[in-house]
Amino acid sequence: MRILGNDEKIEETIKQYCPNISFTKNDTDVLFGSISDLNIGLEVNNLPNDSMLVLDGIHKNPNNLESWEKLKALEHVRVTVDLFYCGVIFFRKEQAKEHFKIRI
């Protein structure tokens, strides 16, 4: 797993609940970060086909929601899941483009 930005608190929390997970600064299949810290030009279109991007805070403010909508519109983004507190993006090109909103 790779955490976007430098948030040691998130890394410690993840390790607490998932002790066998390893973190890297290199390419990885799972990326975690805050949407407010994400640069849409992160080369999202260049992430590997089987990658998953988990973004925290997609509904915290209007700018975050606007960024979420821009990400959903990218050609390489195939599936998004809006979980309110966070969003999950999948890039698998073989998958039909779909967007889900989970209400709890």
- Please give the average per-residue pLDDT across 37-53, as a whole number: 71
For residue 79, the cross-strand partners are 90, 98
Band (pLDDT 50/70/90 cuts) for residue 88 is very high
Q: State how far the Cα of 12 lies from the Cα of 9, in Å rounded to an integer.
A: 5
Whole-prediction pTM: 0.77
- What is the chain's mean pLDDT, rounded? 81
Q: State how far the Cα of 36 lies from the Cα of 69, in Å rounded to an integer.
A: 13
The predicted pLDDT at position 7 comes to 66
pLDDT digits (tens, 9 = 90+) for 2-33: 776 666 777 787 778 777 777 776 666 788 87
Could you please report the per-residue DSSP string of 2-37?
EESS--HHHHHHHHHH-TT----SS--SEEEEETTT
The predicted pLDDT at position 26 comes to 64
